Chains A and B, each alone.
Chain A
Amino acid sequence: MRPPAPQADQNQATGIVGYHAYLPAYRLRRGEIAAAIGASARGVRCVAGYDEDSTTLAVAAALPVVQGREPTVGSVWFATTDPVYADKTNATAVHAALDLQPGILAADLGATVRSGIVALLAAARDGGLAVLADRRGGPVGGTDEREGADAAAAFLFGERDPLARIVGTASVTAEFIDRWRAPGAPDGGTWEERFGEQRYAELAGQLLARLSDGGVELGGVRRFAVAGMNARAVRRVAGTVQEATGAKLEGGDLAGIVGNAGAAQAGLALADLLDAAGAGETLLLISLADGADALVLRTTGAITQGRREPLRAQVDRGVTIGYPQYLLWRERITADRPRRPDPDRPSAPYAWRNRPYKLSMTGGRCRTCGAVQFPRPRVCYQCHTADEFEPVSAAGQTARIVTFTVDRLAFSLSPPLVSAIVAVERGGRLQCELTDVREPLAVGDEVVPTFRRGATVGGIRNYIWKARPVYRAAPAVPASAGAERES
């Protein structure tokens, strides 16, 4: 039975108006993981910092996309296989950190790999924000741990000036056992890879047929990418699509140089496609997870201006950590604890009252004297006027280190605790923790606020804003310099 052809949704947004992929700062050599069980492996995987989880990764990807466009965001669709909470929605913390209006829907899509492409399809329908963020691990030393990745990508759909217009979407659904995991369990299982490979090859065939039936000219596709957890299936389907369309495969090497980011993999693949594309190109994204899903886009002239830092530029910028560090950060092993009291559980009512500061780093600018302070106080420290503040957020601004210290006594999830007084670009000073510190710090160093997790006490995860130093890539050697050396 041939299913009905897909139809254009009346409410469908025009296209993608902004996107960003975020790779955390850390890299781990797979050989080091494999060596733990006497095996060997090649390549590198991307690892989140100790203070990053799926929610903070989501914010890191989405903040640059959303900033300045908050009123246009129609919804938030959050995809991850590693949600921080069950029962409680995780997308609400992302919504709060992005300082979005209360009147929009923010929803999790369930802890499944397929939720990644589903977030894209959902956001495409309602001009929403698709945020795909994941932390992938697995049994110690095993394939999942080696080949997983921690990463995130965010895509904002809308009407005005899209970088890429939506050409069509298609989905096929199938129930079979290829990969599974009990809710909340760290490690899951997979069936023999060849079984899933065969299923996904069939499903991809159906998917292409549906796209074609829906009016998508497959021969016009210029670039495509395939995301999925079954590596054999991804390779096979990539070959099939190449044959069917003659398009160029993008991101075929991502699994090797970044790893597979689970529910975020479709997002990395799409960001990589968009990074590579010129104007007027048709792009095809396929996700293989419990079925097959496709998103077809056509880039516009805005594609080159709308780009942020490309995914590939972040790949080589990582700091290599050792396997014991990874295991500690993932709480697979337990570190020696300092003789200091454990942190307290954050108070829910206090956090609710203080949510502008706690979740979106918002303070106040005194309307009388202009002094900026975080969080917003009742009384201005400078002119003592009460309750005359307008909100001002430090998120998205830069800041400079006024003074700092490395604290080897205080509690930290990854000692030592580094903290600083920072002066925010457009006014105000505050004390915060620093994170992702790779090099010795100096007064005057540039930092940017970043949303991170603190300790989890009584099951409550303490989210806070920290700051991380800005490390600019070394300027490329001008071509002429090389020419001179040769002459």
Chain B
Amino acid sequence: MAQHGLSDRVAIVSMACTRFAEHFDRGADELAVDAVTDALDGTGLTRDDIDAYWLGTYVSGISGMALARPLRLVGKPVTRVENMCATGSEALRAAVYAVACGAVDVAMAVGVEKLKDTGYAGLISPKIQDDGTRVNTSAPANFSLLAPAYQQRYGVTPELFRAAMTHVAWKNHANGALNPRAQFRREVSRESIERSPAVAGQLGVMDCSGVADGAAAAIVTRAEDARRYTSRPLYIKALSLVTGDGSGAADPSYDYTSFPEVVECARAAYAQAGITDPRRQLALAEVHDCFTPTEIVLMEDLGFAGRGRAWRDILDGVFDRDGELPVNPDGGLKSFGHPVGASGLRMIYECWLQLRGEAGARQLATAHRGLALTQNLGGAPGDCVCFVSVVGSRPG
């Protein structure tokens, strides 16, 4: 048995993304209506023309009614999906599969998250009733385990690793400063990144992504129908999901310097898309920079850098906006915050803009390569869910 790629059978024909921000004046319903309305705009499609909807939301709604109710979708199949930080990407995955298998002609994926109604610091996860034995660590604490492990394994000094972490934060904020949809639109100096208050382990506040509200949406059709709705569709080249078995903490062979789920997920995605040299074939990559050490490790797990080399490549500017492979040119989670259900589709939205030449001040010189990658990571090192997609501007 094997997984099979979609071989350009499905295309994205329209996308929308709200500004990601502390939308104290807008609820999840309003953000969803905005994203869906903007996605329909200019396509000639109405909400009734969409045959099926998938809503990705982590904590902001239960069931498909969380979308059907605010949009008054009548008689439609609407499904809510959740898969931690891959939630928005799961909505896309479901919509694409529905079209690919012929069940529907047109489907929409919507990702929505409203985080700023809780009043809490950081990301709040839904809790499953348990007996209190699970160690209640925060997300930054979980990901902070990467830093000392990586330094020890590869003999990188804390100072050099710190410099690489700082570069990731600096780069992503510099990119976000050019993005009107980002939560934070300011460059941040290296000094203020390194002086930010401690959160967990070696991580300071500026090593962490922010907390924001936001929504994004994508409309997908069969590839052969795509040009009815847009002259420049994006083709789905690969969709890959790997769900970890949670054995990292128990397994002595796991050393907290990698995400095995990402390695496997990327391998499957590259096989589907026919990618053999991602660093040179991809125009850009939107990856899950929830914390700065995560992005460092992801560069290796995604095959963009050799083992133990990512920190050096990062410092050398390989993944800067004008580098060999721009990573998070839209500003990433660092600039956008992480409204969980929306983030996966927000990443695809940057690919949509870049590969169509619509990214304005952020437009990349590498866009002509025609392929872009998005990646999400939910959970913690040793216990996570990973999603990777490859989209392209040209049918295969």
Please give the residue numbers on chain A whose beta carbons come within 8 Å of chain B beta carbons, in ascending order.
338-341, 343-344, 346-347, 350-351, 353-354, 357-358, 371, 373-375, 381-382, 402-411, 417, 419, 421, 423, 428-433, 443, 454-455, 462, 464
Q: Are B137 and A417 in contact (CB under 8 A)?
A: yes
Main secondary structure of the interface of A (DSSP, over half): mixed
Given known pairs A381-B251, A403-B145, A403-B148, the reply for A408 and B200 (CB within 8 Å) is yes
Q: Are B137 and A405 in contact (CB under 8 A)?
A: yes
Flag whether B344 is at the interface (Cβ < 8 A).
no
Q: Which residue of the partner chain, among B124, B133, B138, B145, contacts A421 with CB atoms under 8 Å? A: B145
In whole angstroms, what is the CA distance A210 to B127 when docked? 62
Q: Are B250 and A429 in contact (CB under 8 A)?
A: yes
Given known pairs A374-B250, A428-B250, the reply for A405 and B144 (CB within 8 Å) is yes
Please give the residue numbers on chain B whose beta carbons come within 8 Å of chain A beta carbons, in ascending order.
118-122, 124, 127, 129-133, 135-138, 140-142, 144-145, 148-149, 152, 198-201, 245, 247, 249-252, 256
In whole angstroms, what is the CA distance A346 to B252 when docked? 29
Question: From residue A428, how far is it (CB to closest CB) to chain B in Å?
Answer: 7
Please indicate the chain B residues that have their CB under 8 angstroms from the CB of A454 in the complex.
132
Q: Are B121 and A358 in contact (CB under 8 A)?
A: no
Main secondary structure of the interface of B (DSSP, over half): loop
Please indicate the chain A residues that have their CB under 8 angstroms from the CB of B120 in the complex.
339-341
In whole angstroms, what is the CA distance A341 to B122 when docked? 10
Q: Are A347 and B252 in contact (CB under 8 A)?
A: no
In whole angstroms, what is the CA distance A421 to B251 when docked? 11
Q: Are B131 and A405 in contact (CB under 8 A)?
A: no
Q: Are A341 and B152 in contact (CB under 8 A)?
A: no
Can you list 17 A-B pairs with a CB-CB distance of less than 8 A? A339-B119, A341-B124, A343-B136, A344-B129, A350-B131, A351-B131, A381-B247, A405-B137, A405-B141, A407-B141, A407-B144, A409-B141, A410-B136, A417-B136, A429-B252, A430-B250, A443-B148
Question: From residue B47, how far is it (CB to closest CB) to chain A in Å?
Answer: 36
Q: Are B132 and A346 in contact (CB under 8 A)?
A: yes
From A350, which residue of chain B is reached at the shortest CB distance?
Answer: B131
Q: Are A347 and B130 in contact (CB under 8 A)?
A: yes
Please indicate the chain A residues that have their CB under 8 angstroms from the CB of B199 in the complex.
408-409
Q: Are A406 and B200 in contact (CB under 8 A)?
A: yes
Please indicate the chain B residues that have their CB under 8 angstroms from the CB of A411 in the complex.
136
Q: Which residue of the partner chain, among A339, A346, A371, A430, contacts B131 with CB atoms under 8 Å? A: A346
Known: A408-B199, A409-B121. 7 other contacts (CB 8 A): A338-B121, A382-B247, A406-B141, A407-B140, A409-B122, A409-B141, A443-B148
Please indicate the chain B residues that have their CB under 8 angstroms from the CB of A357 in the complex.
133
From A454, which residue of chain B is reached at the shortest CB distance?
Answer: B132
From B380, which residue of chain A is reached at the shortest CB distance?
Answer: A431
In whole angstroms, what is the CA distance A343 to B130 when docked? 11
Please indicate the chain B residues that have their CB under 8 angstroms from the CB of A358 in the complex.
131-133
Please indicate the chain B residues that have their CB under 8 angstroms from the CB of A421 in the complex.
145, 249, 256
Q: Are B149 and A403 in contact (CB under 8 A)?
A: yes
Please indicate the chain B residues that have their CB under 8 angstroms from the CB of A343 in the complex.
132, 136
Given known pairs A346-B131, A346-B132, A347-B130, the reply for A409 and B249 (CB within 8 Å) is no
In whole angstroms, what is the CA distance A353 to B145 when docked? 30
In whole angstroms, what is the CA distance A180 to B249 when docked? 50
Given known pairs A350-B130, A443-B148, the reply for A431 and B249 (CB within 8 Å) is yes
In whole angstroms, what is the CA distance A403 to B148 when docked? 8
From A346, which residue of chain B is reached at the shortest CB distance?
Answer: B132
Q: Are B131 and A409 in contact (CB under 8 A)?
A: no
In whole angstroms, what is the CA distance A294 to B268 when docked? 76
Q: Which residue of the partner chain, among B131, B149, B249, contacts A429 with CB atoms under 8 Å? A: B249
Question: From residue A356, how far is it (CB to closest CB) to chain B in Å?
Answer: 11
Given known pairs A339-B121, A347-B131, A429-B252, the reply for A409 and B145 (CB within 8 Å) is no
Q: Which residue of the partner chain, among A340, A351, A433, contacts B135 with CB atoms under 8 Å? A: A433
From A416, which residue of chain B is reached at the shortest CB distance?
Answer: B200
Please indicate the chain A residues that have their CB under 8 angstroms from the CB of B251 in the complex.
381-382, 429
Question: From residue A12, how far is it (CB to closest CB) to chain B in Å?
Answer: 40
From A464, which residue of chain B is reached at the shortest CB distance?
Answer: B133
Given known pairs A339-B121, A373-B250, the reply for A462 and B132 (CB within 8 Å) is yes
